[in-house]
């Protein structure tokens, strides 16, 4: 995979998140976000191994996945800001951004929920032919959810072309992995008969290699895989943490965790000129994203009753009969 | 004890602490509740004081947490489970509805299930779907569960202790948008018991019934209506299942008009049940059909438009007007 392209995606996500955090602070993004900063190499590497017609399901910390899979950063920013020009007309927001045309089946506010959905989306290939695959991203916390292990089993049993990508950033909110996960995450994949590997999640090229291998297997009809990407969340669990220090990670740990930065790792492979040119283009794009988001209209509450049913029935209003 | 100024969050914290002091069988379980003290800080400091065996940081596994609590309860413990946000209770729904609710009945009274499931619920905090929901009716509909909701610090302090001391499984709904609102309370004065509703304001022209986060809106509406010369009685249900109907019926017989207010959607909500019961029992006293002011029948909307979703003073007063204009 082209190092420039990998770098570009890592950088785009990093700067997107930083700009989004500014909008949280200024009140343009309501409800805050779960920043993906530090974990960008995973989205970049995995989605780099995918085609547009492949499918992903994402998490509460989903901006990176959505962007890496090709969503328009401008409309994504508008979505976070809850504007009608957003990917989901401002009704999904940070935790439910989606772009179905690009195979982005959504960020998800429910931890662990995406795994089975990805398996189902991948299984559809049985009926439709083709060689698409699906990827489900999830965190180390999600492996404790029953539904994810149910999805592992179904995928293994039915030889589903799905790749389960665990982003092990060491914590589920404040719970360290050692406190929340018995045995190993890899062991869970192996138990269901999936080829399971653990890789350095800070290097997009390494993640790409592992993903490309798993994707090739899935395309060839050889079933599901698990990739555990070891990573570190540089920023808060959620932006509320910027205001309320939660004190579950020591300063030393933070410094060590941040010392291997995917941006540096990916950037070191480029010439200064290439890197600067990429950075400048991204700044321009994100400046437009922020401008567009803030200038776009907010949703009209009057249409809140629309789209409850596909068959055209409108929702009942709360008003008395 | 003199009155002190306390948030609802701190009152719950004090109540949990007292329950743990009073009974060594009380254990708390939940995500991030120990070291962190919970994302809303309701269990702040309790692990430090009672230890990791009594304030348990669990994995991210709601179904497993509730199932484990059931097992603990059968062996004589009194588990208090925290669900981090309303929308995360659904993975545990099966354990709550199929196991917890039915075991006492199924064992013909042999098993006691003193489990409390605490759920911060409702909107108004700028969060989203899954973080702003009002799932109380699902549980109130389930025979075998009791469902209660506190609306103010004094009730929070006492109700959580009574819920823990009760031998039945109780879903304890906490109004998260009111967590950090302060009130002057005298914790030594015990309010009415857990399963009673309370008349918070007396009036003669119409009755507003609410619970949890909407009690404040009901009281504000009554105060505003007074300026229009209308005397409104406000009742805090406190218990959603079972409902203490006597004060509600008495009030409606007096006022002839009833408005029920809740954040949850209208369709088959608590208001539907109250409305039906009042119609059955107080038909000849009613001057107008029971009005319901509720969330709309849609998924909880994006935070940008949540103010439109949530019942507020204007919508409640409109319903009062409608009742008078009948
Ligand atoms: C079913 C469910 N329970 C609880 C939560 C609250 N919650 C949101 S993120 C999170 C931690 C997730 O940890 P992990 O899966 O490791 O992902 P990370 O946040 O580290 O990216 C929790 C507990 C939730 N969203 N869904
Ligand atoms: Mg994690």
pLDDT digits (tens, 9 = 90+) for A185-231: 999 999 999 999 999 999 999 999 999 999 999 999 999 999 999 99
Sheet-wide strand order for B232-236: B198-201, B232-236, B206-210, B258-265, B291-295
What are chain A's domains? 3-305 (3.40.50.970)
Instruction: Give residue-wise pLDDT tens across range A72-128.
Output: 999 999 999 999 999 999 989 999 999 999 999 999 999 999 999 999 999 998 888
pLDDT of A196-209, one tens digit each? 999 999 999 999 99
SS3 assignment, position A258: helix
At B305 the pLDDT is: 85
Nearest Cα residue to A102 out of A70, A80, A133 = A70
* Whole-number pLDDT of residue A221: 96
Name the stretches of chain B with pLDDT < 50: none
Question: Does A321 score more than 90 pLDDT?
Answer: no
Query: What is the per-residue pLDDT for A318?
Result: 46
- Cβ(B110)–Cβ(B65) below 8 Å: no
Q: Count of A–B CB contacts within 8 Å? A: 118
A139 touches A59 (CB < 8 A):
yes
The residues, ordered by sequence, that sit 6+ positions from B200 with a Cβ below 8 Å of its Cβ are: B215, B219, B234, B235, B236
Q: Which chain A residue has its CA at the smallest distance from B88's CA?
A: A110
Q: Reply yes or no on whether the pLDDT at A302 is more than 90.
A: no
Best CA proximity match to B261, nearest among B223, B220, B299: B220
H helix or E strand, kind and range, residue B24? none
- Among residues B253, B206, B259, the alpha carbon closest in space to that of B232 is found at B206
Average pLDDT, chain A: 95
* Residue nearest atom 4 in ligand 1 by C-alpha distance: B88
Query: CA-nearest residue of chain B to A301?
Result: B305
Q: Do B138 and B144 touch, CB atoms closer than 8 A? A: no
Name the residue of A40, A57, A111, A165 to mutate for ligand 1: max ligand atoms within 8 A of Cβ: A111
Strands A162-168 and A134-139: parallel
pLDDT value, residue A186: 98
Q: Hey, what's the torsion of the CAs at B117, B120, B122, B126, to 10 degrees? A: -150
Q: How far is the CA of A272 from the centre of ligand 1 (A)?
A: 38
pLDDT > 70 fraction of chain A, expressed in percent and rounded: 98
Nearest to A227 by CA among A212, A245, A243: A212
Q: What is the DSSP string of B128-194?
A: -TTSS---HHHHHTSTT-EEEE--SHHHHHHHHHHHHHSSS-EEEEEEGGGTT-EEEE-TTS--S-T
The answer on pLDDT for A309 being more than 70 is yes
User: How do residues A257-293 score in pLDDT, each as one tens digit?
Assistant: 999 999 999 999 999 999 999 999 999 999 999 999 9
Rounded to whole angstroms, how far apart are CA atoms B215 and B211? Answer: 5
Give the number of other CB atoms < 10 A from CB of residue A271: 9
Provide the shortest C-alpha distance from residue A317 to chain B (in Å).
5
Interface test with A, best of B82, B93, B275, B296 (most A CBs within 10 A): B296
Q: Which of B104, B131, B141, B262 is catalytic?
A: B131
Q: Delineate the domains of chain B, giving CATH numbers in brackets.
A: 4-185 (3.40.50.970), 198-325 (3.40.50.920)
């Amino acid at each position: 995979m082209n190092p420039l392209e990998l770098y570009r995606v890592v950088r785009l996500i990093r700067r997107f998140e930083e700009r989004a955090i500014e909008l949280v602070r200024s009140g343009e993004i309501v409800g805050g976000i779960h920043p993906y900063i530090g974990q960008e190499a995973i989205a970049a590497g995995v989605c780099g191994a995918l085609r547009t017609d492949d499918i992903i399901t994402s998490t509460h910390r989903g901006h990176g996945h959505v962007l890496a899979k090709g969503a328009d950063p401008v409309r994504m920013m508008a979505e976070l800001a809850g504007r009608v020009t957003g990917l989901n007309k401002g009704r999904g927001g940070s935790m439910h951004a989606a772009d179905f045309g690009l195979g982005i089946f959504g960020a998800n506010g429910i931890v662990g929920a995406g795994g089975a959905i990805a398996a189902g989306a991948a299984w559809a290939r049985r009926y439709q032919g083709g060689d698409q695959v699906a990827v489900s991203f999830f965190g180390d916390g999600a492996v404790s959810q029953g539904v994810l292990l149910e999805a592992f089993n179904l995928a293994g049993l039915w030889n589903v072309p799905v790749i389960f990508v665990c982003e092990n950033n060491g914590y589920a909110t404040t719970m360290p992995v050692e406190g929340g996960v018995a045995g190993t995450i890899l062991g869970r994949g192996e138990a269901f008969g999936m080829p399971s590997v653990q890789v350095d999640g800070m290097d997009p090229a390494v993640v790409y290699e592992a993903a490309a291998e798993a994707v090739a297997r899935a395309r060839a009809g050889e079933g599901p895989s698990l990739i555990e990407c070891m990573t570190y969340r540089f920023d808060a669990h959620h932006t509320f943490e910027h205001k309320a220090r939660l004190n579950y990670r020591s300063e030393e740990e933070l410094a060590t965790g941040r010392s291997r930065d995917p941006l540096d790792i990916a950037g070191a492979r480029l010439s200064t000129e290439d890197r600067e040119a990429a950075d400048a283009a991204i700044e321009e794009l994100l400046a437009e994203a922020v401008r567009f988001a803030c200038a776009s209209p907010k949703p009209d509450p009057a249409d809140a009753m629309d789209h409850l049913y596909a068959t055209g029935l409108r929702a009942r209003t709360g008003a008395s009969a | 004890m003199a009155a002190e100024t306390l948030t609802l969050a701190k009152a719950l914290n004090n109540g949990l602490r007292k329950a743990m002091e009073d009974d060594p069988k009380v254990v708390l379980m939940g995500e991030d509740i120990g070291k962190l003290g919970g994302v809303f800080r309701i269990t702040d400091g309790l692990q430090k004081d009672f230890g990791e065996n009594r304030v348990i940081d669990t994995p991210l596994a709601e179904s497993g947490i509730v199932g484990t609590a059931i097992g603990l309860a059968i062996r004589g413990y009194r588990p208090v489970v925290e669900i981090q946000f309303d929308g995360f209770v659904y993975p545990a729904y099966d354990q709550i509805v199929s196991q917890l609710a039915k075991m006492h009945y199924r064992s013909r009274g042999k098993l006691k299930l003193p489990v409390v499931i605490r759920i911060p619920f409702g909107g108004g905090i700028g969060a989203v779907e899954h973080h702003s929901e009002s799932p109380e009716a699902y549980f109130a509909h389930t025979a075998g569960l009791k469902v209660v909701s506190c609306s103010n610090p004094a009730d929070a302090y006492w109700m959580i202790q009574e819920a823990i001391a009760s031998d039945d499984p109780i879903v304890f709904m906490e109004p998260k948008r009111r967590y950090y609102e302060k009130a002057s309370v005298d914790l030594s004065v015990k309010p009415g018991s857990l399963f009673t509703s309370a008349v918070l304001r007396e009036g003669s022209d119409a009755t507003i019934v609410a619970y949890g986060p909407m009690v404040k809106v009901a009281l504000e509406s009554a105060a505003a209506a007074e300026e229009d010369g209308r005397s409104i009685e406000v009742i805090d249900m406190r218990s959603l299942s079972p409902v203490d109907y006597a004060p509600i019926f008495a009030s409606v017989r007096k006022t002839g008009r009833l408005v029920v207010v809740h954040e949850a959607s209208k369709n088959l909500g608590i208001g539907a049940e109250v409305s039906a019961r009042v119609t059955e029992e107080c038909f000849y006293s009613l001057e107008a059909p029971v009005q319901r002011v509720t969330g709309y029948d849609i998924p909880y909307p994006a935070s940008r438009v949540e103010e439109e979703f949530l019942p507020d003073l204007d919508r409640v007063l409109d319903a009062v007007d409608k009742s008078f204009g009948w």
